[in-house]
Structure 1
Amino acid sequence: MTDYSPRLFHSDDEIEHLGEGLLARTLERAEWTHEAHLAATTYLLLKRPDVDLDRELPGLIRRFNESVGGVNSDTEGYHETITRAFLKGVRLFLAEADNREPLHELVNDLLLSPMGRRDWPLRFYSRERLFSVDARRHFIEPDLAALP
């Protein structure tokens, strides 16, 4: 695995800004980083039980991408398999986490954990399979190891 130095958060307000900003499509495109994806997902899972992420997350991300001038195509934008893999990873991390407050420290712990690494899905998927058009369009099962 490669070196990984995530951008860490300093306040719960930053996490709330990302989660609520995703919902409202008010984030700047540059704010929507790997760390922001995981922070927003964690926030929504813990603080917004009214949002059914299994059903709504794909549309939230697609609409956000479009709101900042991005596209969701066979080569860029929303990626179903990566999104689903990381959603499982965040849930796995939260199930094992001892403490959930302050939220930004929990998110930082997630980002520093195996489940927070950008390359975490590659523990389960070959690059060819994960970055295929089919994996971008639909959730596909891993080919190297089962997702936890």
Structure 2
Amino acid sequence: MTDDEFLTAFTDCSLPPEAWTHAAHIRAAFLICRQVRWDEALDSMRAKIQAYNAATNTPEAIDRGYHETITQAFVRLVYAANLRTGPHKTAEAFSAHHPELMQKRALLNYYSRERLMTWEAKRAFVEPDLQPLPIAPSRTTF
């Protein structure tokens, strides 16, 4: 599936639930981040995940469903990584250049599990307790 086909399937909620993996989240974040400013990318990613979860009846649990802190942190990491090393022409190229982001555990470099896996962090962004995330980017677009 091309990047355009993937983003369309995610956006129109036709992406099969089994395809909505961590790698797919990073792919979607990259494809959205490369099109718009940081704040727009975050708003878009948030809205698209929430719409996708609603369309696929994804249950809300501490480890399932939409998680605000995880979304914000990964979007920030993806955006900052592409600013540092991009622009990358494809999500595959971005992912190959940033294997550290392809691991779900990547956020554990910034957050303790106890801080990240809370209802507070699920509902609203919480700052990391191990090391700061990259500063929210100010560059307009790629």
- TM-score normalised by structure 1 residue count: 0.79
Aligned residue for 2:36?
A: 49
Q: Which has the higher contact order (CA 8 A, sep 6+)?
A: 2
For residue 142 of structure 1, what is the aligned residue in structure 2? 128
2:101 counterpart (115, 124, 144): 115
Contact 2:67 2:123 in 1 (8 A): yes
Shift of 1:102: 4.4
Distance in 2 between residues matched to 1:139 and 1:99, nearest whole Å: 27
Aligned to 2:57: 69
Structure 1 26/145 Cα, relative in aligned 2: closer, same or farther at 3 Å?
Answer: same
3-state SS in 2 of match to 1:139: coil
Matches within 5 A, 1:1-148: 13=2, 15-46=3-34, 48-49=35-36, 52-98=40-86, 100-110=88-98, 112=99, 114-148=100-134
Q: Which amino acid counterpart does residue 22 of structure 1 have in structure 2?
A: F
**1:79–1:137 Cα contact (<8 Å) kept:** yes
- Give the whole-Å Cα distance in 2 for the aligned partners of 1:37 and 1:98: 19
Q: Flag the 1:103–1:78 CA change in 2: closer, same or farther, 3 A.
A: closer
Identical amino acids, percent of aligned pairs? 26
Closer, same or farther: CA 28–90 of 1 in aligned 2, 3 Å: same
Residues 58 and 65 of structure 2 are in contact (CA less than 8 Å); yes or no, is this contact kept in structure 1?
A: yes
Gap regions ≥5 residues in structure 1: 1-10
CA distance in 1, matches of 2:89, 2:24: 18
Provide the C-alpha distance between the structure 2 equivalents of 1:87 and 1:102, rounded to a whole number of angstroms: 17
Deviation (angstroms), 1:65: 1.0
Cα offset for 1:19?
Answer: 1.7
Change (3 A) 1:82 1:17: same
- Superposed displacement of residue 75, structure 1: 4.9
Q: CA deviation at 1:70?
A: 1.0
- Matching residue's letter, 2:85: A
Question: CA–CA distance in 1 between the matches of 2:20 and 2:41?
Answer: 17
TM-score (norm 2): 0.82
Q: Secondary structure, in 3 states, of the residue corresponding to 1:82? A: helix
Give the deviation of 1:52 after TM superposition.
2.2
